[in-house]
Structure 1
Amino acid sequence: MRLLCLLERVVIVLCLQLLSHKGIITVLEGTQRIRIIKLKVTLHLPLNFWRPFFKVIDMKIKVYFSVVFVYLILIAGTVEAATVTVSKNGEANYTIIQEAINNVKDGDTILVYSGNFTENVIVNKSVSIKSNSGNPDDTIIQASNPGEHIFNVTEDDVTISGFKITGASNIVTSPTAGVHLEGVNNSIINNNKLSNNVIGIDLQSSDHNMLSKNTVSDNERGISLTNSNGNDLINNDAFNNRFGIYFWGSKNNILSYNNASSNEEDGIWIEDGSNNNTLRNNMVSNSNDDGILLTESSNNNTMSGNNVTLSLVGVQITDSNNNTVKNNFISNNSRIGISIIRNSSNNTVKDNFLSNNSESIVTESSTNQIYNNKIKEGKIHDTNASQIAFICPFLTVVIFGIAVIFLRKE
């Protein structure tokens, strides 16, 4: 019994210290006062109110654990997050975004009014930073130092939304980004326009984040994930970058309803052990190289429902195994619709519609399964003694070496 009471007292003291440190409560002798800072409400209660829960012994408060602990949790739950404002004209709480971050607490929101801000921002608290208008075109963040990230996020549970972010254009020790997350989880990057950076949005070792409705253009890489897992990329536009969307060593991510168009090299480039990713319902067009590239042991990925057009090669798989390409529309690629080469095996290509590609499907690897694809107006590849060509009125498949082919003629 004494041990239990001692444990109860230790837990309560720790809870009281924590809540007092956060400014949630203040306990006084003779009368107890509960102060809720965010609501600016002070509740005075007489000592008789607390007598069932407190016993005063030598001016020290002994707290009975079971009731008061629950009560303190309920009190803590009433604390609301604060909202502060930032404006260039001095009519808000702050004139600089970094100053606002330095003075808020985890869970608070920073609203930024329309204007042009020149700064590099370190986000080291779990806060939401949003433009007041929700329009990226009128709330612009320009890099003060082009050799640093514009938003450098180092804390979990951050939201950045509604900004035009530009000018992180210099590589000093590493590529700089408009928004950079490193070791960050459960954050949201939403409704931003990022241009003229080395990388638009950069995730390094960051998991379970949401990137949605962003436009990344005129960057070296539009969106880049390195060793980052379980992220969702939804409804983003990536155009006029060198690479639209880039994965390196990143697993279990979902790319859906993105538009990667008119990029200098690849629309979507997935490499170096990027496994178990899902690419579905994306639009990829006008890439000067590959629309979608899987390479360097990127295995067990699934591509479905994508529209891949007007590139050199629609879908390219190299040195990668056990990937599935199904139910995609692949058309008007100047060289090849689907290419599976260089020691790529056990890949499945099925139920795709291929139209007006110079060559429809090419594979030089063994044990790839290709079946139930509808192929229209594909040109016949020139063959030689080392090649096997499967041809029918609506089908052209060219095989280099040995492969298992299942075809449906319609």
Structure 2
Amino acid sequence: MQTPTAEVIAIGDEMTSGARLDTNSQWLCQRLGELGITVRFTTMVGDQMQDNVDVFRAACNRVDFVISTGGLGPTADDLTRDAIALACDRPLELSESALRHIESMFKNRQREMPPRNRVQAMFPQGALEIHNPRGTAPGVDITATLNGQRTSRIFALPGVPAEMMEMFDATVTPRIIDQIGGGRLVIKNAVIKCFGIGESDMETRLGEMISRARFPRVGITVSAATISLRIAAQAETEADCDDMIRQTRAEILASAGEFVFGEGEKFELQHALTEILVSRNERIGTIESGHGSRVCNWMSDVQPGDTFIGGVVTNQFDHSAVSLRARMSQPGSGVTGADWLLAIEGYPSLNTEDDIVAELVFTFCGHDQQHYWQSHQRLGGHPGILHARIGKAALAFARSCLFNLGN
């Protein structure tokens, strides 16, 4: 069974200049994957007519579905309608229904429609409309056959994220499902998060699991010292995908389980530590010294919010057990009432472009005499990631202390 393929195109000078981050393509790639469609290419193109025509022609010649965002406004630099018409060798025609919708949008807003907005009702001959309930830019749905060869279906959507997402879910998704039918393959993904090992060492541990010939595939990405292992399963049923992911997860845990702290795209070490604290019905405070306070910022954003009692940022502090326990009991200390205190000493200044090596002391302290652990660590890295790496190392240290305690 051949898996349908897609290309996602982001259009606009604001994208190619770096003035705006392209979050639309990321969202569309995820949605298409959920539909069992493999995204083969993502393309970004500026507001030049011939470049747009070339991009649409290239996409139609190599994938089954082309999803574009942007370029459907009323201004002279909104070229998507014209580019698609030229790429497909179709004339533009006025859609009376689209025009009525645009006019009604202006009327409802008690504004007179500028003559220029009429261009938004122009469609390549034979194209279907994609209703836009939020704005004046209807989408374009057209099936293109270039040079009598491959047939591809183009869906052109506005660049405004809220409009694009609603139109894709409400109209584009059902039309794609109708076309590919029930025989499409299911694609499911899982993300396993790891910390405390380098990318090369992780690759060595995983061995053949990361082979491109293996299914399900396992990909490795790294962000600020956190390793994400992405499992991509593809099968005829969701249950089969779940089984493949389950087996691969077990293999990963057998090979590198000591570095795994959780699962999920947005799951981080602060969430892993909070999960343990919630299970123990306990709360934590932090104290950080030097030129940073990453852990306090991260913990304050985690739910449930009452797990984090508060954080102190200071130039220096006494990390002895007596001093730290006194802080947890002293009214107005910033960490009063905490069951645990995580202390991080030694965030370095980042006033350099060179790699930095920091000498750090992590201390994790509870009220009981035996609940006191300290770790001296030497961590290095680029200034752009070093503070994040230090904060994550401290969270991993605290998590390991609690994890080893059990319940």
Give 1 or 2: higher strand fraction: 1
Q: Please, what TM-score do these two structures have when normalized by structure 2? A: 0.24
Give 1 or 2: higher helix fraction: 2
Q: Which has the higher contact order (CA 8 A, sep 6+)?
A: 2
- Structure label with greater radius of gyration: 1
Q: Please, what TM-score do these two structures have when normalized by structure 1? A: 0.24
